[in-house]
């Protein structure tokens, strides 16, 4: 083993280092190269690079010295301790225009200070070439996001709203990262409940062909009525059970009735999606039905399926109950459908990453069928290797009383009403501020919508999704604190500064330079440059709240800058306007990724 600090032979690397938008990766690349030169041959270490905490001497730090020391000490190394290892890492750092200084502190932390010039240049470049040049790159080409997924004829509840909001954001982040996303609405359209619904439909509307949505009215109460009848009337119950068999056997009359019921539900769901501007492609449970028998057959031929109490099940290590895949009456269930959908997504749709967004209550179901799929050899053993599956669980929505969220009037919350209330409330607040006199009716309505729906989305997304969150209109629609309203206003304020300057910002981008000479300008600039690594983190860990925190921090950094430095009329006006524009561009991208419509006027 040779422990020598090799001399720098990598000056060429610096020249070829083109900024890919992900600052952390760029810094990692530099340190990886330095470690390659510092570490003895044959010792492999992962680069440990982290953004430095505010107030610390550097912008990024490399924390490898201590670990490396414990690997090499006593093995004839020339180094005297971790600080010396740190010195070597620092000395071996390839020359790069990115770096201002590199120094060692304490027990060997290597602190890197970025060059403000380089930072400014990178931001200028983004302004000219567009924010998409800061998109992260992920190791997958195609992903499925399975989200929203309400059940036909049953209520679409706040849990489905959370799934819709979180799933849409994850899809948007993946799409921004150049992943092709199949946005799948896995609606519950194929269960035993359809027997009862169809039979009830036949009874109430003998002329099923001409029955309209308005005639059936509220599908949820229709469902409740048919359920009551099913529970109390044995004749009806029998008919309903036969109806399931006829439906699943493909009887055209039953299929038609089924389609009608699905259609009515679909129009109801669409009202929610249209308000939230969420796009989804429905591939419900019924879609996979024709494939189930084959998939179960495949699992059977692999010896995975056993007989248990008349049912067919898969026993899985680490679970005290088996996964049922064929019920004792021979019918298929939620798990058989999910296994089949997974098979389809992997083999027919060639998805490399499949993400499921539901409440944490379903975690066991997902863990079990994921495990079964690994056993079948469909997925690699390691859950971080592709093709990969992830269950994105989320907590409950609570009311102010700390219990499951409900409205006062009934025990269900109609999502459409809930969203409409958010919009109405935000419109009222705008009118109180006299905006109805300043703006056209259309502007007022659009702003109320952006703010109202944005508030609902942001209140959900800003929390770690696993925790329960309290639904409170006053809080989410407040213009203070970490809310969509505050952030949308912050963005609008920046836009109004740019407008008031009277300058053509596109012209400035071409002709003027950006400088980050003052600490607040530099801190804001650094935060802007951390956008890509933040999206990548939020995306890889499937945590939208990471992006929300970033956005909130961004507006705080902007405030610190703007409250100290004059923009319009200062000698740095052009540079500062560019910094304002870059902030607005990044904020808008964050809004876009969170599914929030930005506003430009307040
Ligand atoms: N329909 C289910 C429910 O409302 C959610 C489906 C989630 N997706 C899935 N592939 N299981 O609880």
Q: Do 602 and 489 meet the contact criterion of CB atoms below 8 Å apart?
A: yes
In this structure, the number of other CB atoms found within 10 A of the CB of residue 381 comes to 8
What is the tens place of the pLDDT at every residue in 79-92? 889 999 999 999 99
Cα first-last separation, the chain: 66
Q: Do 307 and 325 meet the contact criterion of CB atoms below 8 Å apart?
A: no
Residue 402 backbone zone (phi > 0: left; psi -120 to 50: alpha; other: beta) = left
Q: Going by CA atoms, what residue is nearest to atom 5 of ligand 1? A: 149
Candidate from 166, 188, 344, 390 with most ligand 1 atoms within 8 A of CB, to mutate:
188
Q: Going by CA atoms, what residue is nearest to atom 3 of ligand 1? A: 150
What is the tens place of the pLDDT at every residue in 20-72? 889 999 999 999 999 999 987 777 789 999 999 988 889 999 999 999 998 88
Which residues' Cβ are closer than 6 Å to ligand 1?
146, 149-151, 186, 188, 338, 341, 356, 358
What is the tens place of the pLDDT at every residue in 172-218? 999 999 999 999 999 999 988 899 999 999 988 887 776 766 666 67
What is the tens place of the pLDDT at every residue in 356-412? 999 999 999 999 999 999 999 999 999 889 999 999 999 999 998 888 887 555 556
Rounded distance from Cα 188 to ligand 1 centre (Å): 7
Rounded distance from Cα 362 to ligand 1 centre (Å): 9
Rounded Cα distance between 466 and 198, Å, is 37
Instruction: Indicate if the alpha-carbon torsion angle 443, 445, 446, 452 is positive or negative.
Output: positive
Rounded distance from Cα 355 to ligand 1 centre (Å): 12
Rounded distance from Cα 156 to ligand 1 centre (Å): 11
Predicted local distance difference test score (pLDDT) of residue 211:
72
Q: Is the pLDDT of residue 10 over 80?
A: no
ipTM of the complex: 0.99
Question: Quick one: angle between helices 415-432 and 252-276, nearest 10?
Answer: 20
Buried b (16+ CB within 10 A) or exposed e, 182-192: bbbbbbbbbbb
The mean per-residue pLDDT over the stretch 547-560 comes to: 98
What is the tens place of the pLDDT at every residue in 120-145? 999 999 999 999 999 999 999 999 99
Beta bridge partners of 324: 313
């Amino acid at each position: 083993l040779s422990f020598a600090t090799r001399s720098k032979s990598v000056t060429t690397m610096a020249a070829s280092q083109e900024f890919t938008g992900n600052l952390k990766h760029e810094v990692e690349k530099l340190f990886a190269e330095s470690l390659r030169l510092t570490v003895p041959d044959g010792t492999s270490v992962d680069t440990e690079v982290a953004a430095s905490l505010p107030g610390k001497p550097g912008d990024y730090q490399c924390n490898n010295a201590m670990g490396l020391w414990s690997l090499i000490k006593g093995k004839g190394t020339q180094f005297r301790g971790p600080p010396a290892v740190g010195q070597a890492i620092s000395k071996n750092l390839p020359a790069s225009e990115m770096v201002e200084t590199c120094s060692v502190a304490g027990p060997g932390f290597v602190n890197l200070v970025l060059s403000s010039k380089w930072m400014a240049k990178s931001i200028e470049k983004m302004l000219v070439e567009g924010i998409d040049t800061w998109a992260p790159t992920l190791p997958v080409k195609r992903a499925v996001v399975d989200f929203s997924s309400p059940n036909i004829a049953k209520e679409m509840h706040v849990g489905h709203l959370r799934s819709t909001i979180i799933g849409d954001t994850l899809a948007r982040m993946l799409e921004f990262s150049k992943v092709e996303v199949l946005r799948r609405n896995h609606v519950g359209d194929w269960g035993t409940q359809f027997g009862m619904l169809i039979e009830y439909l036949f009874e109430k509307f003998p002329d099923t062909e001409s029955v309209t949505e308005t005639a059936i009215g509220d599908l949820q109460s229709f469902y409740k009525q048919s359920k009551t009848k099913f529970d109390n009337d044995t004749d009806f119950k029998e008919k309903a059970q036969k109806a399931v068999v006829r439906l699943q056997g493909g009887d055209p009359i039953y299929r038609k009735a089924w389609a009608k019921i699905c259609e009515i539900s679909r129009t109801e769901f669409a009202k929610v999606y249209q308000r939230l501007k969420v796009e989804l492609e429905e591939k419900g449970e019924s879609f996979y039905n024709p494939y189930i028998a084959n998939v179960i057959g495949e699992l059977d031929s692999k010896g995975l399926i056993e007989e248990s109490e008349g049912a067919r099940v898969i026993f899985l290590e680490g679970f005290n109950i088996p996964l049922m895949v064929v019920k004792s009456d021979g019918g298929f269930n939620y798990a058989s459908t999910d296994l089949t959908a997974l098979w389809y997504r992997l083999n027919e749709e060639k998805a490399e990453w499949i993400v499921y967004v539901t409440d944490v209550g379903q975690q066991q179901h997902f863990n079990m069928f994921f495990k079964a799929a690994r056993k079948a050899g469909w997925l690699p053993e390691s859950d971080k290797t592709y093709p990969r599956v992830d269950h994105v669980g989320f907590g409950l929505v609570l009311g102010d009383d700390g219990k499951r969220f409900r409205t006062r009037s009934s025990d269900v919350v109609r999502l459409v009403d809930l969203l409409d209330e958010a919009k109405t409330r935000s419109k009222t607040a705008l009118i109180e501020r006299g905006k109805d006199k300043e703006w056209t009716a259309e502007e007022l309505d659009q702003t109320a919508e952006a703010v109202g729906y944005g508030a609902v989305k942001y209140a959900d997304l800003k929390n770690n999704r696993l925790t329960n969150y309290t639904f409170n209109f006053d809080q989410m629609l407040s213009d203070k604190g970490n809310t969509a309203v505050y952030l949308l206003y912050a963005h609008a304020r920046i836009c109004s500064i740019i407008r008031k300057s009277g300058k053509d910002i596109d012209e400035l981008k071409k002709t003027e330079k950006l400088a980050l000479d003052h600490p607040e300008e530099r801190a804001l600039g650094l935060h802007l440059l951390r956008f890509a690594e933040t999206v990548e983190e939020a995306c890889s860990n499937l945590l939208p709240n990471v992006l929300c925190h970033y956005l909130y921090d961004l507006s705080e950094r902007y405030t610190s800058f703007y409250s100290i430095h004059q923009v319009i009329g200062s000698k740095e006006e052009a540079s500062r306007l560019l910094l304002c524009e870059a902030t607005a561009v990044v904020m808008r991208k964050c809004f876009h990724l969170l599914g929030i419509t930005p506003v430009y006027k307040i």
